[in-house]
Amino acid sequence: MTTTDSHAVTTVAFAEAVLARSHDVPVLVDFWAAWCGPCRALGPILDRLAAEYAGAFVLAKVDTEAEPKLATEYQIRSIPAVRLFRDGREIGAFVGALPEGQVRAFLTQHGIAAGPPLTLTGSTPEARLAEVRAAIAGGGGSPAVSLLLGELLVETGALDEAHRVLEALPAPQYGDARAVRARAHVALARRAAAATAGGDGETAGALQAVLAGDAARGIDTLLSLVRAQRDTADHSARDALLEVLAGLDDPDLVRDARRRMAAAMF
């Protein structure tokens, strides 16, 4: 490989080099073979774009002859086949030796812009937010930067602006797991404020615990409220718990909470 943004991946390394790495940066996987003429045409285009985009995505190459298990697992029936991964899951794909313009359009469709990623140096959320605002004002805006702006607005408590920014994200970023969690945080903070204003101290306390990082304690309290509301027309605790679960990045905790919620409701 000619750049650090492009590398060969084996079956053993795939989970770490592609799935885990995609939580930090999008990973574009090129399934190819040496005997495939279209693969030899597409490969240099992908290499060139990986260098040009300077870290906006990582290019991983899987030789389907050397790694048949990966080709079978991802149902590769025709090559070249390109798959795009973000947050540990496949979010886009194309087959065949597309011309460079169409590959660029594919990257743009999924929110990947050319140029180096924005590097923040501020030691506080407020300082990092100022850096992002300055980058946008200087013409460095992109869907990815808008998502980062939304996250920092949430972190600094500017919930109304965060809501506007997050709701305005284009489809690829709107469905990004980070955006989902950020929107859930805004919803929880608003629900906690409404509960406080309405005198519902238990719900407010549970939500504040979740927002403060103690999700397990908040979930326990909300489950108690779900049980208490089971035979009533009030389902506010259930709704609050569902919002909590939508924003958590802990599959085991979410799975256990959903199981306990079902038991509490029926």
Q: Residue by residue, what is the 3-state secondary structure of 77-135?
A: CCCCEEEEEECCEEEEEEECCCCHHHHHHHHHHCCCCCCCCCCCCCCCHHHHHHHHHHH
Backbone dihedral angles phi then psi of residue 207, each to the nearest 5 degrees: -70, -35
- Residue tagged active-site, from 9, 18, 39, 112: 39
Inter-residue contact 37 to 29 (CB < 8 Å): no
Distance of alpha carbon 150 from alpha carbon 197, whole angstroms: 26
Distance of alpha carbon 80 from alpha carbon 46, whole angstroms: 11
pLDDT (0 to 100) of residue 170: 75
- Preceding peptide of 143 cis, ω within 30°: no
Shortest CA distance to 265 belongs to which of 222, 204, 205? Answer: 222
Look at strands 81-86 and 27-32 and give their pairing.
Answer: antiparallel
**All residues at 6 or more sequence positions from 133 whose CB lies less than 8 Å from its CB, including other chains:** 149
- Residue for token pair 């996250």: 151
- Residue tagged active-site, from 17, 36, 71, 166: 36
**Dmax (CA) of the chain:** 70
**DSSP annotation of 3:** S
pTM: 0.58
pLDDT tens for the 266 residues of the chain, in order = 333 345 789 999 999 999 998 988 899 999 999 999 999 999 999 988 887 777 788 899 999 999 999 999 999 999 999 999 999 999 999 999 999 999 999 998 888 877 666 678 889 999 999 999 998 887 766 777 888 899 999 999 999 999 999 999 876 678 777 888 899 899 999 999 999 999 999 999 999 999 888 999 999 999 999 999 988 998 889 999 998 998 887 888 999 999 999 998 88
> Reduced to 3 states, what is the DSSP secondary structure of residue 138?
coil
Inter-residue contact 103 to 62 (CB < 8 Å): no
pLDDT (0 to 100) of residue 2: 34
Distance of alpha carbon 58 from alpha carbon 112, whole angstroms: 11
Inter-residue contact 207 to 242 (CB < 8 Å): no
Distance of alpha carbon 146 from alpha carbon 169, whole angstroms: 7
- Residue for token pair 């009030």: 234
Alpha carbons within 13 A on the beta-carbon side of 45:
18
pLDDT (0 to 100) of residue 217: 94
178 tagged catalytic: no
Task: Kindly compute the dihedral angle of the four CA atoms of residues 248, 251, 255, 257, in this order, to the nearest 10 degrees.
Answer: -30
36 tagged catalytic: yes
